[in-house]
Amino acid sequence: MIRSRFSKGPSPEAPNRRGASAAHLWLASALALGIAAWLHAAPARAQDVDAGPYVPTPQYIVDRMLQMAAVSGKDYVIDLGSGDGRIVITAAKRFGARGMGVDISEKLVDLATTNSYKEQVAGRVRFVRQDAFKTDIGAASVLTLYLLPRFVLDLRPKMLVELKPGSRIVSHDYSLGDWDADNAITFDSPEKEVVNGASQTSLFYYVVPARVAGTWRFSLPEGMPQRSAEIQLQQSYQKITGTISGAKARPLAHAALRGERIELALPLGGRNYVASGQVSGERIEGTIEVAGRGKLPFSATRTAPGKAVGWP
Ligand SMILES: C[S@@+](CC[C@H](N)C(=O)[O-])C[C@H]1O[C@@H](n2cnc3c(N)ncnc32)[C@H](O)[C@@H]1O
């Protein structure tokens, strides 16, 4: 029998939408449905993390997950805990994406592979027997999850470190805790009553933020009150705040980050200059609106990294 880590109790972190009791209901229902018998025949390897039983996402919810992430032919979709492969197969068949599914059950990986041939997308998707926690997810532009709450939370640092900024994540039913969703929807799904005791489904959407915490030296264009500035950025997941150094440090009137796009309002000479740019590692490049001159280029270099909430 597979040993389930959630039997050790819920995460110490504040529970997301549904807690451990829902998890137990989920498992109980899966057992009732006879799915556990299937899994019993295909046990995970002892060293693998068992992040939840096999409960397939209904097809119309799969569609909504992929629509929420605006999946297209440019995407590479990874489903962590891919079951019969339906998310990755749908991403390929209906949205033209490529992708990979990983699951700890060999039988489910075989089933997903067979399904990919049946659906004629085997050339664009692959399924691998692997522990999600040991999978390199760096190739994903879209990551999907339908795993028990505490494991979704445990995956956060890995997602922040391995996924490229701008990659999208959709988590079915369980949020990423103190990482606030960029979008969330809840809708009726009566058939879920038997699965987890709730007749609603929630989908949580995230855009992976660039890590920007630290001190940045800005080179500013001609026409601004000063030609350089030092800015400190504080970061908690995608939320940022900042201060500009000077005789007296002043807070930035506005600071926003989406993926690697950053927008900062720099208070200089009695007005706010809005800088919009692209973060690339230790550099930011973009433009600043200067009155009467239009948008002029600026660049910034990080001179010291800072601690960012969420990253290990
Ligand atoms: C709730 S099912 C979701 C299946 C599929 N993603 C879907 O939405 O239809 C969770 C899946 O995760 C798999 N799983 C559990 N722990 C895992 C782990 N550590 N690594 C990879 N897969 C895992 C289970 O075998 C199961 O197939």
pLDDT tens digits for 234-259?
999 999 999 999 878 999 999 999 99
Average pLDDT, the chain: 88
Separation of 81 CA from ligand 1 center, angstroms?
A: 3
Q: What is the mean pLDDT of residues 7-28?
A: 43
Query: How many Å lie between the centroid of ligand 1 and the Cα of residue 312?
Result: 24
∠ CA 22-27-33, rounded to 5°: 125
Residue 87 CA, ligand 1 centroid: distance in Å = 11
Residue 196 confidence (pLDDT): 76
Q: How far is CA 132 from the centre of its chain?
A: 14
Dist CA 47 CA 26 (whole Å): 23
Task: Find the 210 Cα to ligand 1 centroid distance in Å.
Answer: 28
Per-residue confidence (pLDDT) for residue 11, from 0 to 100: 37
> Which atom, in ligand 1's list, is nearest to the CA of 133?
19
Sorted by where each starts, the structural domains of the chain and their CATH numbers stand as 5-207 (3.40.50.150), 214-309 (2.40.128.120)
* pLDDT of 167 strictly over 50: yes
Q: Does pLDDT of 152 surpass 50?
A: yes
CA 207 to ligand 1 center in whole angstroms: 22
Atom 13 of ligand 1 has which residue's CA nearest to it? 81
Kindly report the protein residue whose alpha carbon is nearest to atom 8 of ligand 1. 57
Q: Which two tokens stand for residue 285?
A: 């490049």
310 vs 22, higher pLDDT: 310
Pocket of ligand 1 (CB under 6 A): 48-52, 54-57, 79-83, 86-87, 102-105, 108, 131-133, 146-147
Q: How far is the CA of 136 from the centre of ligand 1 (A)?
A: 16
For the segment 86-113, the average pLDDT, to the nearest whole number, is 98
Please give the pLDDT value at position 52: 82
Q: Can you tell me which atom of ligand 1 is nearest the CA of 48?
A: 19
- Pick from 1, 25, 47, 104 the residue to mutate for probing ligand 1's pocket: most ligand atoms within 8 Å of its CB: 104
Q: Which two tokens stand for residue 217?
A: 């030296």
- The residue whose CB lies within 8 Å of the most ligand 1 atoms, and thus the one to mutate among 39, 64, 128, 146, is 146
The atom of ligand 1 lying closest to the CA of 50 is 16
Tell me the C-alpha distance between 86 and 41, whole Å.
21
Which residue CA neighbors atom 16 of ligand 1 most closely? 51
Express each pLDDT in 216-227 by its tens digit.
999 999 999 999
Predicted TM-score (pTM) of this structure: 0.88
Q: How far apart are CA 260 and CA 211, in angstroms?
A: 9
Residue owning the nearest CA to atom 1 of ligand 1 = 55
Q: How far is the CA of 309 from the centre of ligand 1 (A)?
A: 27
Residue 279 Cα distances to 30, 140, 176, 261, angstroms = 44, 19, 24, 6
Between residues 310 and 36, which one has the greater pLDDT?
A: 310
- Give the number of the atom of ligand 1 that is nearest the alpha carbon of residue 86: 9
Tell me what percent of the residues of the chain surpass a pLDDT of 90: 78
Give 125 Cα–ligand 1 centroid separation in angstroms.
Answer: 17
User: Among 18-27, 90-99, 176-185, 274-283, where is mean pLDDT lowest?
Assistant: 18-27
Instruction: Find the angle CA(298)-CA(301)-CA(302) to the nearest 5 degrees.
Output: 140
Nearest CA to ligand 1 atom 4: 83
CB burial string 248-266: b at 16+ within 10 A, e below:
eeeebeebebebbbbbbbb
